[in-house]
Structure 1
């Protein structure tokens, strides 16, 4: 029986020009390169310029994905942007991307699930393709987290960076078996009782301000490893696969210790993990598509490879997607 699969046609990414090494924080905070690296694995990150916005990053990543696919903007039916740092309260960043690319048809919307946003967006884009609502969907994770950081809080401001990554999902015919290329399964979760573990203390309705990020790092870590491993295993089970079938894990790039803990719990080797956190920091919803694009550009993925992506963020919201390259 033939089915419609959502297959990754191409990837693309963009990073702002300004690179901020750990040493820059040591000038104003009681911290050091050794302290940051030992607790997070982060060595540097990129910050957007003052006149550079989330939509700008998203458009540049989108153009890279289009170029890599040999497609034009008019070949895209829908744009989904995962972000927690939009240019405006509304309209959606995705509509700005649509305009920036010169698209005059199709539809565009944002998804807000913080660091898990790209996983949620990928699952939703897959649903649109399988339902026949779109043939090609541009899925983007884009963030300017540097705009919502407390520069006096050394436990958070050293962790985050700005960037954007994009994938083009395309409808292709499959057999319905897990040997098909494309997204094979997803697992999405949230639990609002944990809001205060990771949140921003501002908002349109409550304060009329953007606010800054607040995080209980130890508690987030405690939840992250267990929830990420459980979600990844659940998605693999839905796909009829096991951890031994996995060729690559492309995790949310939040913290190297979380990545290692999750992979260990899955029973996999770090040799199968794409790690970019040292160069990008935590770029929230952008981290997985950034890592996918970087690894793809390096030629790491091969047709038929089984890839697991997983992420957890504020909400708490978390999930995983299993796909075959």
Structure 2
């Protein structure tokens, strides 16, 4: 592409931010009363102190609507013409069919805008953000609401301490608009990747077309989220480190000059290992999981909402990175804008 054409191609600029956590809080001690676990065991292995749980009857769309509403308010947008598209990244849609995003757009009063889901598990928000950038670059949209939302409590095995202790529910959202590449908030270089040979490392075995819920499945049916933790740990550290370095290099930023790393909030030891591997001081890696757990596709926008105005300052060089089931992973670089969550 010629330089003048690149100049004319709109960039995606973050202009709104919002997050929402359901009010119910589950502490490590709460889990210890119903499982063979303890606060010490959970803290030492994950760094998590508590997580939020959706009440019975609360669906992913309910969390997504609230986070989306806050992001739109932060961006100063309302009415049917507030945005031109809605993308919801989630592993836990309201139903297998239809997608969750159209209902979210309708409930937000956004009219008949195109709305669709992205399924890339914990990398889903980054995949959705790059998709939004493509809509803006092509001229198909002038602004997009991107939401990461999860109710992982709906798919966790109530007897599996290894997953029940880790995951939480919540939603985070950003509004991106068409702008110029040199604006604060403009999404810069991005890397997305996948490796389907590891698809069984993170999965919900039953419920899809491979193993439908039918009477014939009998005892084989497994509707719960399963994860092979040791292998996932190694892959997560390797992949997030690699793509974080790549986007920093493509931005012309020495890693030591990156101000904040906002990585998928999976596990404190993973976050620390990624920071160590890329040569970044651990204190520059924002940690939010101690208070909310692993919220999968919602974790990066929730961490951004938590960091905005405190850790994140306008002009900061920021790298976002995630790793999830699929296997999928990715990273995005951007310079932080003057934006605060509503």
* Same fold by TM-score greater than 0.5: yes
The equivalent position to 1:87 in structure 2, one of 94, 97, 113, is 94
d(CA) in 2 for partners of 1:105, 1:155: 42
Conserved? CA contact 1:165–1:289, under 8 Å: yes
Task: For residue 303 of structure 1, report the CA deviation from its aligned partner.
Answer: 2.2
Deviations 1:214-240 (A, max 9, x none): 111111101111111001111222323
Q: Which has the higher strand share?
A: 1
Structure 1 unaligned regions, length at least 5: none
d(CA) in 2 for partners of 1:98, 1:204: 25
Structure 1 position 263 matched with structure 2 position 275: yes
Number of residue pairs the alignment of both structures matches: 321
From the superposition, tell whether residues 181 and 153 of structure 1 become closer, same or farther in structure 2 (CA, over 3 Å). closer
d(CA) in 1 for partners of 2:25, 2:256: 37
Conserved? CA contact 1:84–1:143, under 8 Å: yes
d(CA) in 2 for partners of 1:133, 1:293: 27
Conserved? CA contact 2:48–2:290, under 8 Å: yes
Report the equivalent of 1:280.
292
Conserved? CA contact 1:13–1:64, under 8 Å: yes
Report the equivalent of 2:37.
31
Task: For residue 242 of structure 1, report the CA deviation from its aligned partner.
Answer: 2.5
Conserved? CA contact 2:181–2:187, under 8 Å: no
Deviations 1:180-236 (A, max 9, x none): 641111101111111121111212312227810111111110111111100111122
RMSD: 1.5
Task: For residue 127 of structure 1, report the CA deviation from its aligned partner.
Answer: 1.3
The equivalent position to 2:193 in structure 1, one of 189, 195, 199, is 189
Structure 1 position 204 matched with structure 2 position 208: yes
d(CA) in 1 for partners of 2:141, 2:279: 37
Structure 1 position 97 matched with structure 2 position 108: no
Report the equivalent of 2:13.
7
- With normalisation by structure 1, the TM-score equals 0.95
d(CA) in 2 for partners of 1:211, 1:180: 43
Report the equivalent of 1:72.
78
Structure 1 position 160 matched with structure 2 position 171: no
d(CA) in 2 for partners of 1:21, 1:181: 35
SS in 1 for 2:94: coil
Conserved? CA contact 1:181–1:323, under 8 Å: yes
Structure 2 unaligned regions, length at least 5: 214-220, 337-342
- With normalisation by structure 2, the TM-score equals 0.91
d(CA) in 1 for partners of 2:184, 2:57: 43
Report the equivalent of 1:292.
304
Task: For residue 301 of structure 1, report the CA deviation from its aligned partner.
Answer: 2.1
Structure 1 position 43 matched with structure 2 position 49: yes
